[in-house]
Amino acid sequence: MKNLPEELTVHLGATTLTNTEHNVLRVALDHMYEHLNDLRGDLDDYDDEITNINRLKDVKSLQELFRL
């Protein structure tokens, strides 16, 4: 991604994303959070519930990273 104007990019450490890539990731994370949240309480196995809760935490962490 050389020579892109500054206003079209998002810098994350050594990685640079276009604004479109950044927005795609944010929308995907929002949808994943909604999906995982909808599963809460519907899983039959306790371990699956714990896994789901951990995934929700991970998604929230990534959302914070991408909400620069």
Summarised one tens digit per residue, pLDDT across range 30-52 is 999 999 999 998 889 999 999 99
- Is residue 57 one of the residues assigned to a domain? yes
Number of domains making up the chain: 1
Q: What is the DSSP string of 1-20?
A: -TT--GGGEEEETTEEEEHH
- Quick one: pLDDT band at residue 53, thresholds 50, 70, 90? very high
More confident call, 29 vs 65? 29
Note whether residue 21 is domain-resident: no
* Residue 46 resides in a domain: yes
Domain that holds residue 35: 31-68
Asked whether residue 62 is assigned to any structural domain, the reply reads: yes
C-alpha span between 10 and 16 (Å, rounded): 6
